[in-house]
Structures are given as C-alpha cells and as structure tokens.
Amino acid sequence: MANQTDLLDAVRAALSNADADKLLPLCRKLESNVVIIINGHEQSVAHHVAALLNGIRCVEALIKKLGPGCLTCINKSYNTHVHLAALYQEQDWMKVIHRALGSDCFHQPGQFQRTAIHWAAENKLSNSSLKWLVKKLGTACLSVRDEHGNTPVHLAALCQGEDSMQFFKSVLGSDCFHQPGQFQRTAIHWAATNGVNNATWKWLVSDCGSDCLTVKDEHENTPIHLAAWRQGEESIKICASQLGFECFHQEGQHGRTAVHFAAMNELYNSSLEVLISICGPKCLSVKDSYGTTPAHLAAQYKDLDSLRLVVKSLGDSVFELVDNEGKTVADYAENNAEHRHRMLQWIQEYRRQQQSLPEKMDDLQLQKQQQESPNKDGQGPAKKLKIDPNFTKWDFLLDGQGKKQKIGEGAFGKVYKALTDKHQTVAVKIVYLQANGGTESVNAAIERELFEVSILRGMQHHNILKFIKAERYKKHMLSIFTELIAGQSLYDLMQKQQKPFDESAVKDFSRQICTALNYLHNRDPATLHRDIKCSNIMLNHKGVIKLIDFGLAKEILTSIVGSYTFCGTVCFMAPSCSATRPQSCTRPRVTCGRLAAPFSKC
C-alpha cells in the first residue's frame, strides 16, 4: 500500500512538472488507469498524458501495461484520451491510437458531440493531426456537425492558420467556407474572431471576395464587426480597402457599429485607434439601442490608455454621455474587472485638474493683461483680453460627481463653468424666463438684451468683468458668457471671515470700484451698473476687484412683466431705479452709495 501511494505521488509530481522522462518508468509500474487531480483537473492518468508534450512513449507504455481500453474511458466532460490527443498532439500520436483501436474511435462523439476530427481542428499547436485524420477517414468527416452546428471547417477557421484553409479548399472547394454554423456564422465570421492572428481571415477574404464581409449572422453581425472586436489595425484597414469607410457605420447586434465592437476589443487597442482616425471622434458618441456609446464600452472593457484616447478625442463632454439608464462613462469604468481602480483614480484626478484649470487660466490672463496695461497704477483701461468669442459649441464643466460646476445662483438664474470649442474656460449665466408677458415679449426682451451685451463687450477695464457674448439657450432661456474669474465675492469672503474688512481694505476696494465706475460713466454713451453690492463685487487671487452682474437678468424680467415693475436690490440700487418709473439711459444715474455699510454689513 505504501509503495502504491508513493507511486501515485511520483506520478502526480511528474505530471505537474510536465516531465515525460520521469513519468515513463512510472507508467510501466501502474496497475490501473487511476484517476488523479492535476492542476484542478480530475481525470485518469491516460487523459493527463494526452496533454503532455513529448509524452508519446508514455502513452505507448500505458497501452502495453493496461491495454488499449485505457484510451477509451471518459472524463467528466465525456472526452476520451483520443479526443484530447487530437486537441493537443501531432499526427504521430494519431498513428499510435489507430494501431491500438482502429479508425472507429475517431468517429466517437465527446463533449459537445465533437469527434476527434473536430478536436483536431481546434489544435493550435499543429494541423498535422487534422490532415492525417481527413486523409485516413475521408473528406466526409469534415461535414459532420457538433451540437452547436459547427463543422471542423468552422473550428479550424477560429483556431488554425491559412494552411488549413488551403487544405480544405483542395479537398472540398471554396463553398465550404460559406456554409453557416453556430449563430449562422460562416468560416469567415469565425476567422474574424481568431484573436491569435489574422492570417486565416486575410486569406479567406482574398479567396472568397469582399462580399463575404457583408454576410450577417443571426445577431446581425458581419465579419467586420467581429474583426473589430477580436483583431487589430491591419484587419480594419483591409475592411476599408475592400468596402470603404461606410462599412464601419453599419449597425450589427443591438444597433452597434464596428466602433462599438472595437471598444470591446480587449486584445488590441489599435483597432479602436484606427477607427477613430478614419471615422472621426464623433463615432465615439454614437449610441446603440441601449443608449451605450463606444466611450462607455471602452471604459468597461479596455485599458487606461484607451480611455485617455477617448477623452482626448471627445474632451470633457465624454463624462456627460449617459445611456438609457442614465449611466455615465465613469459608471461603466466601475465594471472594468481588470483596470477599474486605475481608471477611477485617473478620472478623479482628471476632473480635479479640470476644476483647477479655470483658475490657472484666469491667473495667466490677468498677468498678461497687467503686462499690457498702459498705466502703471492700473487705473487706466487695459488692452483687450484674448478670449475668442467665435465659439460655436460649449459644454458645462463637471465636478467630481459628474454634476455641472455651479459658480453662483440668484433669483434670475444660475452661473456655471463652461468650456468652449476654442479650448477656453468661461462663465455662463443661464437666465430662466417665464413667458408671463407672452412669447413676443420674451423674444423682444431677449433681442434687446443681446444688443446690450454686444455693447458691453466693448468694455475693456481690468476692474470690470469681460463680457464675451450672449445667445438663446433652448426655448425660454438666455445664456450670457463672460470671462471666468478665479476668486470670491466680497460678500462670501466676509461670511467666511465672520467679520468686516479693515479700513485699509475698504479704501483699496473703494478706489478700484470708483475707478471702474468712472470708466463706465465716461463711456459714450454712459454705461450704468444698477446693482452695486458686495455679492456683485469679486476679489481675485491677485487682490484685483471685478464688477460683475450688470443687472441684465433683471432688465429682461422688467421688460417682460412691464415697464413699471420693481426689480433690483433695494439698499444698493440707484435712486432712479427704486422710483418705479420708466428707466432712461440718457445720463449716468448710478451712485457709489453706501460703501462703508456694504463692506461691513452685507
């Protein structure tokens, strides 16, 4: 008993180490085809030997010691030694089995109702066993289907090289490549999913012609979709040369294009990269029937380099993409089994940097403005900041939770951070309008304010907010774009300090405010601010005061609801505004007012 136990331990060790030389003498001592567990696989010694490189002498020893019957017992997957040897070994092994059992053993079905010929077609080491079996058994064995409907031709297209395809053509003709198998896929479909190399697929496309690329399986997928999913850049370029770029926009399963499938390609990044260059970045935002974009799928299936490419291609808007369930790209990254942690850390850091970008850009703009200012004391008008107003698209900047970055909020609207297609960060105030006075009143008021903003754009002073432009936003909204200021209002600063500013600060702020007002009132025609208060006075990181919010939203509402409606902040309004009389802009009416009180009690 002790000797038998020691023998089995030695057999296990030799099989675990794939040591055929040590196993050979042990096989000659075995009394039975004992079942043992190696690397989690529980099966007989003969089954284990079938996968052993250079183990042909071991199987001969087993046949001699235990008889040919050791080759016919089945494992838990219903496979015999014959099936496994066809999968892992070359033709010499088939000859040994044939001498021991004859030809019938090669026709016996195993797992998935596959014969030895099916398993030989999946042999990735060599196709010599497949060729030998076909020559020995006849070409009819290549037409036998497994329980999924696949023939050895389909399986070889998935697992083997072009030499096997040439062999099939020589014995069956090219028609065998067009026969449908599982999922109604032809050999061309299966070759497109061969992730090891694309030589088989290239050969089939060349032999069968470009029309084979347009055949759809039962899921509506063509070989183009499958090649994008499992192969690299070269296969994509072959498709383009055969059918043109339009083929990449054709919808397959779930309404997905080749770009969607490339975004799920976990083997190659190059397929997605070349498709972006061919189809343009917009292809990453195309939605399938679930509302899922290639950007979502790349976050779930690919690595961090691919996510960086997607973000570089689409910009910050990529994080605003949501599927039909409201899930974002970051949500899909949560499901990335291999790269989840790195992706989420990168997304968080990227958003943090984007949040700090406006402040950095504002500081750079201020430095440049101060360098270009003609007056050393900073009281004169500065040269125009180079903020490009000719942008046509813009997107809200998002915070770490994927929400719009809100700067402020008032009775008439909300202010957010935004990024334009000129790659500049700006502030955008969204004014929400209620059409109480009718659509015509809303339209007239908006047109009037658009004209006023066009005038305000001409203001160039380092203590005054730079207006960029205004435009309609949706049906009853107006968006007003201004420079983005890095800083806080005097009101917010006092709230955080929980005390008023000291006298020197009040004097400095008052001087800057009066300088700005003097500039406004001496324009031709004069410009009135109408709402000077601490919440409308910003202090940036350089200690420079900025007047913001010229009461445009109030003017719009006043125009809509009636000329005599009272709108404004009572304690800080110009006297003419609080008189509830129609306004006139024929002369300046804004007064500096209660400077000491606002700075101490706001």
Binding residues: 429
- Residues annotated within the binding site for ATP are 429
Q: What is the Cα gyration radius of the chain?
A: 38
Residue in 456, 435, 599 with CA at minimum distance from that of residue 520? 456
DSSP 464: B
Helices (H), 457-502: 490-497
CA 156 to CA 153: how far, in whole Å? 5
DSSP string covering 393-404 = -EEE-B-TTS-B
- Residues 452/374, Cβ–Cβ less than 8 Å: no
Q: What is the dihedral of CA 87, 89, 94, 100, to 10 degrees?
A: -100
Number of H helices, E strands in the chain: 26, 11
Position 141: which residue type? C
Euclidean distance between CA atoms 268 and 194, whole angstroms: 12
Cβ atoms within 10 Å, residue 575: 10
Q: Are 58 and 67 in contact (CB under 8 A)?
A: no
- In the chain the first and final C-alpha atoms are separated, in Å, by 96
Dihedral pair phi/psi, residue 479, rounded to 5°? -110, 130
Contact 416, 398 (CB under 8 A): no
Q: CB of 155 within 8 A of CB of 123?
A: no
Three-class SS of residue 472? strand
How far apart (Å, rounded) are the C-alpha atoms in residues 88 and 18?
14
Q: Which candidate, 284, 220, 294, 283, places its Cα nearest to that of 251? A: 220
Residues paired with 487 in a beta bridge: 540
Distance between CA 44 and CA 41 in Å, rounded?
10
Q: Token match 């296990």: residue?
A: 12
CA proximity to 269, closest of 226, 304, 318: 304
The single-letter code of the amino acid at 548 is I
Residues 6+ apart with CB under 8 A from 313: 276, 281, 284
